[in-house]
Structure 1
Amino acid sequence: MSTTRRTAPGLRASAAVLAALALGGCGIRSTPVPVDAGPAPSRASCAAPAAEEGRGPGDGSVRADVFLVCGGTVSAVERTVAPGGSESGSESGPDARLETARELLEELRRNPSRAEREAGFGSSVPGDLEVTGPGDGDPGGTLRLSRDPGGLPSFALAQIVCTLTGTAAAGRDGSVVLGGPVRDDGGEPPLRYSCTDALRGSPEAAKTAGTPLP
């Protein structure tokens, strides 16, 4: 009767085969090196953090709501902005309207703070987007963006509309009139936008949210 002598390398090979079969039976693919998959994904809280003091004391800075993207919607976070950034537009003139629009657009272009990022907030507004006043023939309250509103990402347009609505950048009724760059051919006419519950909850609706001016 013969006996089979197993060497140490042979034993190690058998153990490796058994381990591979065990992993295969459990539906787990074996890998020759350790894999770091990182921490388990967590759900964003979308709880707006307190506004950070971004300016010096006594400079007249005010708090304003700036709308950022979180959890598939746009939600307000409070920021510290220059004077005029949160005032109602009921009595604002063209200079105050444009100054407020520029200040708030600057906030939207900024990278979210660490606290905002940790809560799940982000911004889709392009960093190079600019705003100017009305062109020839535009209603007095028109704001002209450096890109056509309809060509912006839907989340970005929803952010802009909801951030400007109800401030000194808006009209007496709280709505905002937005157009694209002034062109020789006139371009697309400006449209009136309002920050509705539907727009906040489904930013994709921004593409069809604008209404023609009378």
Structure 2
Amino acid sequence: MNGRRLRAVAAVVGLAGVLAGCGIRTTEVPTDYGAAPSRVPCVTSGSTLASQSGSGVPVEVFLVCASQLVNVDRNVQLPTDKATTDRVRIAQALLDELAKAPSDEEKQAGFATDVRGGTGASGPRKGDPADALRLSTPPENLSTFALAQIVCTLADNASSDGGTVVMGGPGNSPLRRYECTPEVRSRPGTEAPPVQTVE
């Protein structure tokens, strides 16, 4: 029995020596190398924009990719309705662009949109601030992803105050100033745009 025990102990000591020789050290300190690389590139080659009509206006819209907001280059055709201002025409064109299904290239790269078609934009009503936009769908009725997409896209393209946009629903619904922050862009599903009520 003693001989067997000695051989067992010798085997354990020998195994420990082999492991020590591998250069792998045990540690009690947790390590964090960040999130695992995503299989979704969230990048397009740029051919989508190049293939569109050159007569459009270049803009950036925010689409959803890998649960984040990522800006994508687009060309939009602005309507020529003289009854609306340039800001309203741009806002409507951006809303329509957000509601479009992503191109095949964008889909392959993992892009999607949560904005539904049919959302209209109009200018300020009497008593509203000059930079206000009224949406046909109340912002509070939008999904968290759709609200983040619209806020960040409008703030980036149609806002006179960089990073924020004043929006409200139809009629006399209250106006609010929404902000597109880095947190909203990185976690649009859980991080709502900061908002302030406009008096």
- Matched residue type, 1:48: T
C-alpha separation in 1, matches of 2:71 and 2:98: 11
Q: Relative to 1, partners in 2 of residues 1:46 and 1:180: Cα closer, same or farther, differing over 3 Å?
A: same
Q: Relative to 1, partners in 2 of residues 1:174 and 1:72: Cα closer, same or farther, differing over 3 Å?
A: closer
Detail structure 1 runs of 4+ shifted over 6 Å in the superposition: none
Q: Relative to 1, partners in 2 of residues 1:126 and 1:63: Cα closer, same or farther, differing over 3 Å?
A: same
User: Secondary structure of the equivalent of 2:113?
Assistant: coil
- Matched residue type, 2:175: P
**TM-score w.r.t. length of structure 1:** 0.66
Number of equivalenced pairs: 156
C-alpha separation in 1, matches of 2:150 and 2:113: 10
Query: Counterpart of 1:106?
Result: 96
**TM-score w.r.t. length of structure 2:** 0.71
Q: Does 1:65 align with 2:55?
A: no
Using the aligned pairs only, state the percent identity.
39
- Matched residue type, 1:79: R
1:151-208 CA-partner distances (Å, limit 9, x unpaired):
10110011111111132x21244521110111xxx33x11111211011011135645
Contact 1:48–1:76, Cα closer than 8 Å, also in 2? no
Contact 1:176–1:192, Cα closer than 8 Å, also in 2? yes
Summarize the alignment of residues 5-20 of structure 1 with structure 2, pairs less than 5 Å apart. Answer: none
Query: Counterpart of 1:75?
Result: 70
C-alpha separation in 1, matches of 2:163 and 2:195: 14
Query: Counterpart of 2:39?
Result: 43
C-alpha separation in 1, matches of 2:102 and 2:193: 27
Report the CA distance between 1:96 and its aligned residue: 1.3
- Matched residue type, 1:43: R
Query: Counterpart of 2:16?
Result: none
Query: Counterpart of 2:127?
Result: 137
Match of 2:180 among 195, 202, 207: 195
Alignment RMSD, CA only?
2.2
